[in-house]
Amino acid sequence: MESTFAIQLNGIVQGVGFRPFVYRSAKTFGITGFVRNDKDGVFIEASGKNVEAFYHHILENAPQQAKIISHSFQKTETKNYPDFRIIESEAKQNNKQLFITPDFAMCENCRKELHDENNRRYHYPFITCTDCGARYSILKKLPFDRENTSMQMFHQCDECLQEYNDASDIRFYSQTNSCKKCGITLSFYNNKNELLSQDVEEILQQINVALQSGKIIAAKGIGGFLLLCDANNEQAVKTLRARKHRPTKPFAVMYPNLQQIENDYEVSEVEKEMLQSAAAPIVLLQPKSPLLGGFRGAAPKLNRVGVFLPYAPLLELILSKFNKPVIATSANISGDSIVYDNEKALQDLPQLADFILLNNRDITMPQDDSVIQFSSKTKTKIILRNGRGFAPIHFLNCQTHKTIFASGALLKSSFALAQNDSIYVSQYLGSTDEYDTQQTYKKVAENFLNLTSAKIETIVCDKHPDYFSTQFAKQKSEEQNISLQQIQHHKAHFAAVLAENNLLENNEKMLGVVWDGTGLGDDEQIWGGDFFSYQNKKIERVCHFEYVPNLLGDKMAKEPRLSALSFCKGMADDILKEKFTGQEWNYFQKILNNKYEIVTSSCGRLFDAVAALLNLCDKQSYEGEAALYLENLATENWKKFSNFMEDYDVHFDEEKISVQTILKQIISDIKCGENKGKIALKFHLSLVEMIETVARKNEFKKIAFSGGVFQNSLLVDLIKIKLEKKYQLFFHQKLSPNDENISFGQVIFPLIAQIDTE
Ligand SMILES: [Zn+2]
Ligand SMILES: [Zn+2]
C-alpha cells in the first residue's frame, strides 16, 4: 500500500479555484484521497506513488489568483482511498487562520464566452468562473462557500450543477456559478420607480439609447451603484455634476477596451498592467491631447484623468454596446457613502439618475472603485483609494498574538483588524463626518467582525475626542469591557509606513516625514507638518512647521484664502485683500489680532496658502483641490524645465521650521511678476530641500514618508530624484499615504508592546 501524506496550504487559497485545481492535479498524478477547505486554508490527504511530484506541482502551478504563503507536507497514517474527492468544508470552532479574498475582475475566458452567441452564457451579465467574479463584496461568513455568500439564494440548475461537479470543467466547485436559467436577474426602472424591463437584451438596448441621448444611468456593479453617462456629452456631464452637487471633483472614465485608452492617453507598461489586472482599479493617466467636450468636465483643471476598464460582465455588456467611454462614478448623494442596496437605490437615486438598473444579488461589503497613480518620472506607485479589487488589504505573518481592532481617522476612514497573525485593513469608507457614512462604517465594521468571528481584546483609536471613529471605539470598549488605547494621529501614520516596510525591528534611527492636513497633536494643537524619529521602539517629534493660527476650525480647510491669510501674517495683505469682502476682511483681521487658542503646523494648509496666493483656488469644493492645482501647475512647468532645481531658502530655528521665509520669497516673486508655474515648482523643490536639511542636521540615513501630502506625485518624484542617492527612502506600498492608513498604524501600536512615544 502507498503511503499517505497530509498537505496543508495556507494563504489566498479559498475562492480562487484551488480545490478543483487540486482535484485535476490528483487525477493527472494518479493520487487518491481528498481535498477540503478548512479554516486554515486548504487541506489535502494524498496517497499514491507520485505524491511528492503532485505536491510540487501544486506549489508551482497554483491558480492565477491564489497565493500560497505557507505549506507543509507530512506523512500521516496510511489510508486506502478508492478515489480522489473534494469534500465539504469542515466548520472548525477554533480557527487559526482565515483569509478574505478581494473581488476579481472578469477573466479573459469569461469575456470570450460572454460575447459568444453559441455559449449558453451569451450576454449573461453575471458570468464568472473560479478565476474571476465577486468575492469580498458578497461574503457573509468564512470560509468562502456558496451558502456563506449572497449566492446562497440562487440554486444551480442542472447544467450549472453538472459543471460544478465536473472536475474537468473550469467552473468545477465555482461558488459563484450561475447562468441565465438559475442566476441573478436584472430589473430596469425609470426615475419614477416604474419597472421598465427585466429582459437583458431589452435593457441593454434601452441603456444604449439612454446613453446616446445624454441620460444618466445608475447601475448596480460589484461594490455598489455606479452612475454612468456619455463622457463625450458635455451637457450630460454638467447635469451629473449639478445633480451630485459636485462642481469640480474629478469623475473617472470607463473605456470599452484598452485600445481606446491607448488612443487617448499616454500609457506606460506598469499602467497597462494595472488597468488589466484582476483588481482593475481606476488609474490616473495623462491625455495625449487637450481634453474636449465632456472630458474637460471629467477632471476640470487637472492634467490627469482617472481611467478604467469594465471589470464586471454587466459593465462589459453596456460598454461594448455603447462602444464609447462613459463617466463612471460612485452613486451617492454628495458626502454620503456609495449606495449599494436596492431599496435605498430606488429611494435615493431617482434624484441623480434617469434610469436605475438593479439586480437581485445583495452586496454585503460596499466598496468604491480603487484609485491608483504612478508618478510620471520614477513610476512610483501611489494608492489614492483602496476599494474594490484590493480590499481588504491583507498583511500576513504579523505575529499579532492578540486580536485588536483599530477604528481609523475621520476623513478617508477605514478600520483594521489584527487577528491570527494577519492584519486586515478595510476598504475606504468615506468621510465619517456625515451621518450616512457613519451608518455604513458601522455596518461594514460589524459585518467584518462577524465574518471573521473576531473576539477583540484591545481597541485602538485616534486621540481626537470628536472623531466618529473615536466615539465608535469608546462605545465598543465600554459595552464589551475591552481595553482602549488612543494613538496620536501622525505617530500612527509613521508607525504605518514603518510597519509596511518591515522597519519596526530596525535599530538604526529613522526619520519620519509626516505631512497632511490635520490631526490632533499631543499638545492639543493641530499638527500636520511634522518630522519624527524612530529608534529603539521609540517615536519622538523632531521638529515641525512653525505654528500659525488655525482660523475658524474646519472652515480653514475648506477655504485656502484663509490659510494664506493665516500663514502670511500680514506679508501679503495687498494680494489677499481682494479675496474677501470688506466685512470679511475686518472680521478676520480682528480674529488674527486677538489671542487665538488653536494653532496649526499643517502642511496641507501650507499648500492651500500657496495655491491661494497664486490665485489657483480660494474656496475648495473637495479635500485637496487647491493642492492638486498647485501640483498640476508645477508639473506642467517641470515637464518643460526638468533640470530646474532652484528652491527658496528655509529658516530653521531648533525644532521650528519657519515656512514664512518661503512664503516671503514667494510673495516677492509674485510681485516681480515671476511665472506662476516656476513659483509652484520652486515651492515643491523647497520642501524637498527642507527634508534633506532635517535629515542632514540630525544625521538620519533612512527616511519614511506618510500623510496625504505624499499623494502628490510630483513631490514623490522630486524626493526620489534628489534624495535617493544619499538616503534610503520608504513609501507606502499597499496602503495609501492618506488617512486610510491610520487604522493600520493604530493596530500596530499594541503589537509592539515596547513602543513608546514622547
Ligand atoms: Zn472567469
Ligand atoms: Zn444555471
User: Residue 164: is its pLDDT beyond 50?
Assistant: yes
CA distances from 676 to 356, 470, 571, 659 (A): 45, 42, 18, 19
Q: Write down the pLDDT at residue 653.
A: 81
CATH number of 392-501+741-757: 3.30.420.360
Q: How far is the CA of 43 from the centre of ligand 2 (A)?
A: 29
Neighbours of 282 (CB within 10 A): 30
Q: Which ligand is nearest to the CA of 109?
A: 1
Report the SS3 class of residue 515.
strand
Residue 93 clears pLDDT 50, i.e. is over it: no
Contact assessment for residue 529 and residue 515, using Cβ atoms and an 8 Å cutoff:
yes
State which amino acid sits at residue 620: Q
pLDDT per residue as tens digits for the range 690-733: 999 999 999 999 999 999 999 999 999 999 999 999 999 999 99
Task: Give me the sign of the Cα torsion angle 447, 453, 455, 456.
Answer: negative
User: Cα(4) to centroid of ligand 1, in Å?
Assistant: 34
pLDDT at 192 over 90: yes
- The pLDDT, as a whole number, for residue 276 is 96
pLDDT classification of 170: cutoffs 50, 70, 90 = confident
Ligand nearest to the CA of 65: 1
The mean per-residue pLDDT over the stretch 91-103 comes to 62
Burial tier of 75 (Cβ tally within 10 Å: 0-12, 13-18, 19+): exposed
pLDDT digits (tens, 9 = 90+) for 350-359: 999 999 999 9
CB of 188 closer than 8 Å to CB of 196 = yes
- For residue 313, report the distance from its CA to the centre of ligand 1, in Å: 10
For residue 114, report the distance from its CA to the centre of ligand 2, in Å. 14
**pLDDT reported for residue 142:** 87
How confident is the model over 579-614, as pLDDT tens digits? 999 999 999 999 888 877 899 999 999 999 999 999
Give the domain 4-86 fold.
Alpha-Beta Plaits (3.30.70)
Do the domains 514-536+542-732 and 392-501+741-757 match in fold?
yes
pLDDT at residue number 96:
38
CATH number of this structure's domain 514-536+542-732: 3.30.420.40
> How far does residue 192's CA lie from ligand 1's centre (Å)?
36
Give 168: exposed, middle or buried? Use CB within 10 Å, 0-12, 13-18, 19+. exposed
C-alpha of 710 from chain center:
15
pLDDT above 90 for 383: yes
Residue pair 628/384 in contact by the 8 Å Cβ criterion: no
Positions annotated as catalytic residues are 19, 37
Bridge partners for 658 per DSSP: 651
Q: What average pLDDT does the segment 617-644 reach?
A: 94
Between 665 and 90, residue with greater pLDDT: 665
Amino acid letter for position 203: I
Rounded (10°) angle between helices 603-613 and 625-640? 70
pLDDT confidence tier of residue 1, bands split at 50, 70 and 90: low
**How far does residue 174's CA lie from ligand 1's centre (Å)?**
10
> What value does the mean pLDDT of the chain take?
93
Tens of pLDDT along 491-546? 999 999 999 999 998 889 999 999 999 999 999 999 999 999 999 889 999 999 99
Rounded Cα distance between 25 and 470, Å, is: 50
What is the structure's pLDDT at 677? Answer: 97
**Number of C-alpha atoms within 13 angstroms, CB side, residue 665?**
16
564: pLDDT confidence band, cut at 50, 70 and 90?
very high
Q: Give the angle subtended at the CA of 331 by the CAs of 319 and 272, to the nearest 5°.
A: 45
* Amino acid identity at 411: L
How far apart CA 98 and CA 105 sit, in angstroms, is 22
Phi, psi of 704 (to 5 degrees): -120, 145
With beta carbons less than 8 A apart as the criterion, state whether 294 and 237 touch. yes
Any idea which ligand is nearest the CA of 278? 1
Q: Which ligand is nearest to the CA of 111?
A: 1
Question: pLDDT tens digits, residue range 269-309?
Answer: 999 999 999 999 999 999 998 777 667 789 988 999 999 99
Band (92; pLDDT cuts 50, 70, 90)? very low
Q: Cα of 159 to ligand 2 centre, how many Å?
A: 6
**pLDDT at residue 294, as a whole number:** 66
Residue 253 grid cell: 472614465
Which of 30-39, 240-249, 314-323, 470-479 shows the lowest mean pLDDT across its residues?
Answer: 30-39
Residue in the block written with cell 466618529: 468
Distance, CA of 441 to CA of 428 (rounded, Å): 9
Centre of ligand 2 to C-alpha 183, Å, is 6
Domain ranges in the chain? 4-86, 186-372, 392-501+741-757, 514-536+542-732
With b for 16 or more beta-carbon neighbours within 10 A and e for fewer, the 145-158 pattern comes to bbebbbbeebebee
Class of domain 186-372: alpha beta
In terms of Cβ atoms closer than 10 Å to its own Cβ (0-12, 13-18, 19+), residue 182 is middle
Q: Model confidence over 435-490: pLDDT tens digits?
A: 999 999 999 999 999 999 999 999 999 999 999 999 999 999 999 999 999 999 99
Ligand nearest to the CA of 159: 2
